[in-house]
Structure 1
């Protein structure tokens, strides 16, 4: 028969923790919001109200924030265990809420030609003395020609290649093209062919803009 040594009524090697047991979750407990002096909303409960729960029967329009009450840990657990989203709804309302596309009926703003930026707000709705809002949208919106002629994305890329302004005319285009050809052509650089890649980009940009309606 084997024997085990006991110390103070416990098997040897067993340690007893003298740390006090925590009755409340620590501050990192999920969903806990401390507020000294706020009690649980459950009648007769004197525990701190640290967990938010929606009011039952709150069916206000979706463009209004829902109302909440604050409960202690035990009462919010009991609330979560018995919560029924469809409580108080008619069969038709339940069916409508269960549709696969429920909640997606509202129109969303489409992306536009500004590279994904939202449409600018109506300036009459804002006071912008430091031009903070206007500067942002001027930076996001691509510059337009004063003569109203349209520029495609490829046109704008070609203008950047040739370092031309958006309002450049056909004469400015030809002049800039001649300057860059002389700069990069091997015959003007003692046979140096290291600039052939840049020269090809210049030629392609010129061909793009020459056929563009903005330079017609």
Structure 2
């Protein structure tokens, strides 16, 4: 049923969503307890009791305790929740910073475990990492020295001829006839050397050694193996790219 149109001008105050009886002329509308007044598109205030029925659910004790114990980002000046962790670095293995997503990405871009180490220390660490930093012993340490002494005992012309013969046959010999060190391996290119460094491998590594190292690193850095921790994504991406380069180069 359509309500009759009022003869006079509309009252500035009306109740949403249904119209209310007009107030008597010259009197002020009575205040409605619990109602909220809003602007009716610039034509006047609107009162509504719709919001009176909205109730905010109080937090449970568990929710209060969870918010109180929520870890905050370790980045200076940031109070966002810290859902990601990142290693503190050399000398603090097993300890982690806790960052929000934005700051863990910034931290990973500048993270360098070998910061403060010279080239020799870095290479020594990478070699030791292949054996889990366990002590090792060289086998036949005098063999190479004996070969070097044999070269020096030869006549210079004969030594040069023997070296050329050894290179032609891909062998290393003290007098051009032995096969002491096996076939010579070609020198790796700069990009290949960098990829091997990324995997923590010596530049002589090939085939099974590269594949084994790659699988081990992927297993340790993958988020599924770290409880969903994605803070090492950049490092994992570098490992995958390095392995792809070595595979295209035919080294594995």
TM-score calculated relative to the size of structure 1: 0.31
TM-score calculated relative to the size of structure 2: 0.27
Q: Considering only CA atoms, is the larger Rg found in Structure 1 or Structure 2?
A: 2
Structure with greater proportional helix content: 2
